[in-house]
Structures are given as structure tokens and as C-alpha cells.
């Protein structure tokens, strides 16, 4: 195990060396570019974690308010009203089978809903 670690460190050290002399400005510009990308990626990760924590599991289409339904992708106030008006549902697929939503709309929300 120590040999593998030693070889990995040697390869990493040699990879950082180049035969080409680089100016401090070039190094600074490259560092700024990589840092900007890391910040952008970090913000995306934080937003993903935040979105994941906000989701509390599937939305129960038999009990959800209009506002809760509208948080689903592609669900407009009109669609939310149709879902509420069509209650009760035995299963989520009833939304499509009973023509409450289109197939495309159902495909967007199918993994995010349940009927209890």
C-alpha cells in the first residue's frame, strides 16, 4: 500500500513539472479561471443540496394544496385546479388515465407524486 501511495505522489509531482517556463501572469490567469469554475460548481452543489432538503418526498395528490402541486415541474395553477377537482385518486397514473394531465405532463411529475 505504501508503494502505491509513493508512486502516486511521484507521478503527481512530476505531472506538475513542465519543461516550459510560465510567467506569473499566466499562472495567475489559469488559477483565476480554475477558481471561478470551482466556485460555480460549488454553488451548484449547494443549490442541489438545498433543493434536496426542501423536498419532503412525493406529493400526495389527494391532499396537496394548489401551492404544493404548483411546485411540481410543469404544473400550472390551472393544472393544479384540475388535479384538485378530480380527487380522489387510487394511484398517480389516474392523472393521465382520466385525462387530468397530458402524457408529457405526467412524465414530468410521475416520480414525484403518490396517491394515499
Query: What pLDDT, in 10s, does the model give residues 37-51?
Result: 878 888 888 887 777
In angstroms, the CA 18 to CA 27 distance is 13
pLDDT at 53: 67
Local structure of residue 100 (DSSP, 8 states): S
Query: What pLDDT, in 10s, does the model give residues 35-92?
Result: 888 788 888 888 877 777 666 789 999 999 999 999 999 999 999 999 999 999 999 9
In angstroms, the CA 95 to CA 13 distance is 59
pLDDT at 44: 83
Q: Which residues, other chains included, contact 59 with Cβ-Cβ below 8 Å and sequence gap of 6+? A: 68, 69, 71, 72, 112, 113, 114
The domains located in the chain, with CATH, are 59-114 (1.10.150.320)
State the pTM of this model. 0.54
The mean pLDDT of the chain is 84
Amino acid at each position: 500500500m505504501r508503494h502505491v501511495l509513493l508512486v502516486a505522489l511521484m507521478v503527481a509531482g512530476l505531472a506538475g513539472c513542465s519543461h516550459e517556463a510560465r510567467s506569473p501572469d499566466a499562472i495567475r490567469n489559469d488559477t483565476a479561471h480554475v477558481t471561478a469554475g470551482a466556485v460555480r460548481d460549488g454553488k451548484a452543489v449547494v443549490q442541489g443540496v438545498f433543493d434536496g432538503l426542501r423536498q419532503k418526498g412525493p406529493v400526495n395528490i389527494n391532499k396537496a394544496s394548489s401551492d404544493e402541486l404548483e411546485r411540481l415541474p410543469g404544473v400550472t395553477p390551472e393544472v393544479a385546479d384540475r388535479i384538485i377537482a378530480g380527487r380522489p385518486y387510487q394511484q398517480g397514473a389516474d392523472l393521465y388515465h382520466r385525462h387530468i394531465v397530458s402524457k408529457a405532463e405526467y412524465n414530468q411529475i410521475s416520480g414525484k407524486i403518490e396517491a394515499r
